[in-house]
Amino acid sequence: MAVNPSARYFARPLEVLVRVCLLAALLLPAAAAAAPVSQVEKDAREILDQLLAVDTSHGNETRALEPIAERFKSAGVPVEIIESAPGRGNLIARLKGAGKKKPLLLLAHIDVVPIEGQPWTTPPFKPVEKDGFLYARGVGDDKSMAAAIVAVTLELARAHTPLSRDVIVALTSGEETGGLAGVRWLVEHKRGLTDAGVALNEGGPLVLTPDGEKLRFVGISSAEKSFQSFSLTARGKGGHSSMPSPATDPVTPLARALVKVGELRFPAKVLPAVKQSLAVRARWEKPPLSSALERAVASAPSVSPADDRILSAEPSVNNQIRTTCVATMLEAAPQDNVLPTTAKATVNCRILPDETRDGTRDALVRAIGDNSIEVKPLEDIGVAPASPVTGEVPEAIRAAAARLWPGVPVADSMSTGATDSRHLREIGVPAYGISTAPITLGDALSGHAAHGPDERRPVRWLGDGVRFLKEITLTLIR
DSSP string, 82-140: EEEETTEEEEEEEE----SSPPEEEEEE------TT---SS-TTS-EEETTEEE-TTTT
Residue 317 and residue 294 in contact, taking contact as beta carbons nearer than 8 Å:
no
For position 1, what pLDDT does the model report? 37
161 CB neighbour count, 10 Å cutoff: 15
For position 171, what pLDDT does the model report? 98
Any idea what DSSP says for residue 312? Answer: H
Q: Concatenated DSSP letters for 257-310?
A: HHHHHHH--PPP---HHHHHHHHHHHHHS-TTHHHHHHHHHHTTT---HHHHHH
Q: How far does CA 117 lie from the centroid of its chain?
A: 22
Residue 426, burial from CB neighbour count under 10 angstroms (0-12, 13-18, 19+): middle
CATH domain 228-377 topology: Alpha-Beta Plaits (3.30.70)
For position 277, what pLDDT does the model report? 95
What is the rounded CA–CA span in Å between residue 472 and residue 478?
A: 10
Alpha helices in 322-455 (DSSP H): 357-368, 392-404, 421-426, 441-444
User: Residues near 29 by Cβ (< 8 Å), separated by ≥ 6?
Assistant: none
198-202 vs 431-434, strand pairing mode: parallel
For position 35, what pLDDT does the model report? 63
Task: Give the H/E segment covering residue 247.
Answer: none
Residue 356, burial from CB neighbour count under 10 angstroms (0-12, 13-18, 19+): middle
Domain definitions of the chain by residue range: 39-203+419-477, 228-377
Nearest to 431 by CA among 388, 466, 470: 388
For position 28, what pLDDT does the model report? 40
- Digitized pLDDT (tens) for each residue of the chain, 478 residues in all: 333 333 333 334 444 333 433 444 444 443 334 568 999 999 999 999 999 999 999 999 999 999 999 999 999 999 999 999 999 999 999 999 999 999 999 999 999 999 999 999 999 999 999 999 999 999 999 999 999 999 999 999 999 999 999 999 999 999 998 888 999 999 999 999 999 999 999 999 999 999 999 999 999 999 999 999 999 999 999 999 999 999 999 999 999 999 999 999 999 999 999 999 999 999 999 999 999 999 999 999 999 999 999 999 999 999 999 999 999 999 999 999 999 999 999 999 999 999 999 999 999 999 999 999 999 999 887 778 889 999 999 999 999 999 999 999 999 999 988 899 999 999 999 999 999 999 998 998 887 989 999 999 999 999 999 999 999 999 999 9
Residue 222 and residue 394 in contact, taking contact as beta carbons nearer than 8 Å:
yes
Q: Concatenated DSSP letters for 162-174?
A: --SS-EEEEEES-
Nearest to 424 by CA among 191, 85, 81, 113: 191
Any idea what DSSP says for residue 191? Answer: G
Residue type, 370: D
- Domain 39-203+419-477 = CATH 3.40.50.720: no
Phi, psi (degrees; rounded to nearest 5) at 200: -110, 130
